[in-house]
Structure 1
């Protein structure tokens, strides 16, 4: 009996050793594919940023959904207005704030903490000035859309919608700057709650203004403006009151005026970098507006654009992680760590993109019903799902590589890449397939896929052949090498 017990113990011990050996082999294989420690760091950073960006993006999108259920004309007008507002205003504000990813990111890595608050104020001044200019353009939305051969009735609805979004534009610009300020310090966990609360409030505000007041259609964009201001106020109070920012936020200072020009040197290329991509999406919406059955085609393409944008907001958390990790490491003079962080981030972006694509494939009908009750639109959206899947994967990779570019201060190079890939490749192919070959919506989106794929390839080559050691030396020799 004792002998049998001994044999069982030996056997169990042998099985345990075998399992441990298999586990070691498995971990070794994963470590060859993905640096687990770096991946863990980036996932813990990315997940809160993913939720935060999605919550903030959903505020104007929920308003579109409420407006869309008022009728097909209202859906077309709201989706066109939202697309117009995103590419001419909201995307521009996101782009302007990208300067802080370089300035604050490398400044934090170099332990120049006081300068982060100064850069933030300079960026907010820039956002305010450009918000005034964009507001003037938004007041002229209807004649501009008509000039671009959009349907008169849809243009009128879109112009009305955009006018009530103007107050929200100012709040959105300030909001994006504060997000970059927090992001570059790796303060991300509190953002989940701070962004979720305004979204929940927004659903109630939008429902009340659309259904309980005479505002109806106008209540949807007004609700978005109110909720964006609530979001900005909540984040501002957090920065001012939290003790963890005592080193990076010293209150308002006139010193920020001296850094406006330096900020602009990065902010304008960063804005151009973002807007060139967003404008390519908007061109698709405009092209859809001059196709046969423009009301349905415009709604369909706009829904695809919004779906792509939501998917991008999800992967943008990884883009933010890439920008922060790369800029912090370069600021600290660790170019090898910056390069490793980039490689891990690209792999994670592919994994996340496949998850998003799988969710879209399984739930595209449910998603489409959030925008419209029309069976024709829901059916056509289902046929666009395979095209959306390909574009989401390409967009995910380029999003991360764009974050690396912002972290390194390469915004001006990314501008050339986006200009060439979208406007010399993507849009011409979209026009050829959509109109000449009469593939319509599918042709337009295929052209976009070509542009995104070329963009991702070009950014990959740029980062792969970059002189990382030289960037490292520049960070050590210069207090602010990104301003050169």
Structure 2
């Protein structure tokens, strides 16, 4: 899924290298602009020349150029199939269908540097769809963990629904989002270490990141346990609501170390070309989370807080699932350090921070924006907050579809840029936007025509349902804009312009969207409709500015030069 045929740090631009897909707001490894300087064990060997690169696909000169067997054979076959498909579409002949001949023909075509290899809109839409489907499954399942809480509690009462929603949103913005952003540094560090043949360094980086993330979470846990009520009371005056949210945070905190372990373990596997393990684990844990939540809430009489216990438990079951997967695939342990020294764990943390900070900022910017709208809704009343939680949950679930396309887009665009195929990158961007439009219109139709049935799944409170339905038509329009917003963001990341995307998000949310939401909601008494009109303006601003950047402002020659410099820095 989203595997790449991208440029390496060699002078010839040809080797096939497997890309790394991150969670949440994601950065393809070639998009990170900071050069990596690795000391001691991380130092490049002097035996490498400009014409050598230890790729995930290694040619064996003693075996007539056949690809060495490894645990990545399935992934490698997918990569070569993509190259073969493009060669066939462009009527480029090769002697036979051996892997080595396909790679050689691809390399020769790329080295001509005359845009000989071309793609088309249909082929790119087909590729993006194929690569997006597994991601959609994974993201929907992971999103369902918190969605289950809202789904179950929504049938208990609107106060409980509002309180759990407030607790979940607070956990996201003050903990989970930052930790997810922090883990994105492994998308670069682990993949580059593996690509350079420094397998044990992959495990060392994972251990470092886990240790650093746990260190960062300690003060967060202290705030959740000792001061969450006081902090939330600064913004919300409903003490009963705050008590529910505060208790939720305290219980969920026990599962956060497991959540961190899952995130870093997922990167440990992805860097080795194993992308399906987390999907398998979530296919088991997501339904299990629903069953455990239902059991705790209704059968064991824990009440609404039972959902918090279920989530904390599942945060530990997820990494356990990955560890079981690794146990039955012992060859993956070649990347685990055999003689780890304590000083190695606590060295080079500056590299982690350097690469993690952009991820944290971009993820937090969006999460914080929606957290602020939740706080605004809480000041309107319990009914409004409950309605806001339903609307946000529906919007978040629908967003997983275009977000998956966005991830596939960023990888595909970066792949073509890495191979100096700029025109193909532009075609992929066009295909992504068209696919985003199709998904957006489909989402809009489903939401508008099925609004009554969809709303009743989340709550049976008539007052809350009435408030939700008032916003639903607007929500349908938002889905179209948000889908185009997501796919254009994928194009930006593929171009390596994620910093510009960060600036656009901050401007759109905090200069445009949120101020308008506040004015329409509290000054002009538009209530929840005003809140979501402001969100619509913010998302529309993001979409317009991102499209202007991708299709009209971007300097593709400079993008290509920057990509070549980054690859030479590796």
* Same fold by TM-score greater than 0.5: yes
What's the TM-score once normalised by structure 2's chain length?
A: 0.71
1:397 aligns with 484
1:63 aligns with 149
- Aligned equivalents of 2:415, 2:264: Cα separation in 1: 18
2:554 aligns with 466
Are residues 1:54 and 2:134 paired?
Answer: no
Query: For the Cα contact (< 8 Å) 2:413–2:429, is it kept in 1?
Result: yes
- Aligned equivalents of 1:111, 1:311: Cα separation in 2: 39
Moved more, 180-189 or 280-289: 180-189
1:77 aligns with 163
- Aligned equivalents of 2:132, 2:256: Cα separation in 1: 26
Are residues 1:283 and 2:369 paired?
Answer: no
2:404 aligns with 317
Gaps of 5+ in 2: 1-117
- Aligned equivalents of 1:33, 1:365: Cα separation in 2: 43
- Aligned equivalents of 1:452, 1:51: Cα separation in 2: 25
Please state which structure has a larger fraction of its residues in helix. 1
Shift in alpha-carbon separation, 1:313–1:297, aligned structure 2, 3 A: same
2:221 aligns with 135
Query: For the Cα contact (< 8 Å) 1:433–1:447, is it kept in 2?
Result: yes
Moved more, 236-245 or 416-425: 236-245
1:284 Cα shift? Answer: 1.0
- Aligned equivalents of 2:130, 2:269: Cα separation in 1: 15
1:480 Cα shift? Answer: 6.5
- Secondary structure (helix, strand or coil) at the match of 1:197 reads helix
1:50 Cα shift? Answer: 0.7
Shift in alpha-carbon separation, 1:338–1:261, aligned structure 2, 3 A: farther
1:42 aligns with 128
1:428 aligns with 515
1:74 Cα shift? Answer: 1.0
Query: For the Cα contact (< 8 Å) 2:277–2:325, is it kept in 1?
Result: no
- Secondary structure (helix, strand or coil) at the match of 2:525 reads coil
Are residues 1:379 and 2:466 paired?
Answer: yes
Q: Deviations over 1:141-183 (max 9, x none)?
A: 2111111134111111111112111123333333334445656
Moved more, 43-52 or 314-323: 314-323
- Aligned equivalents of 1:386, 1:102: Cα separation in 2: 41
Are residues 1:195 and 2:270 paired?
Answer: no
- Secondary structure (helix, strand or coil) at the match of 1:70 reads coil
Gaps of 5+ in 1: 1-31
1:221 Cα shift? Answer: 0.6
Shift in alpha-carbon separation, 1:398–1:218, aligned structure 2, 3 A: same
What's the TM-score once normalised by structure 1's chain length?
A: 0.82
Q: CA RMSD in A?
A: 3.0
Query: For the Cα contact (< 8 Å) 1:168–1:228, is it kept in 2?
Result: yes
1:447 Cα shift? Answer: 0.4
- Secondary structure (helix, strand or coil) at the match of 2:319 reads helix
Shift in alpha-carbon separation, 1:353–1:228, aligned structure 2, 3 A: farther
Count of residue correspondences:
447
Shift in alpha-carbon separation, 1:364–1:112, aligned structure 2, 3 A: farther
- Aligned equivalents of 2:327, 2:492: Cα separation in 1: 30
2:296 aligns with 209
Query: For the Cα contact (< 8 Å) 1:319–1:399, is it kept in 2?
Result: yes
- Aligned equivalents of 1:256, 1:346: Cα separation in 2: 43
- Aligned equivalents of 2:367, 2:347: Cα separation in 1: 31
1:365 aligns with 452
**Pairing of 1:162-241 with structure 2 (within 5 A):** 162-179=249-266, 187-239=274-326, 241=328
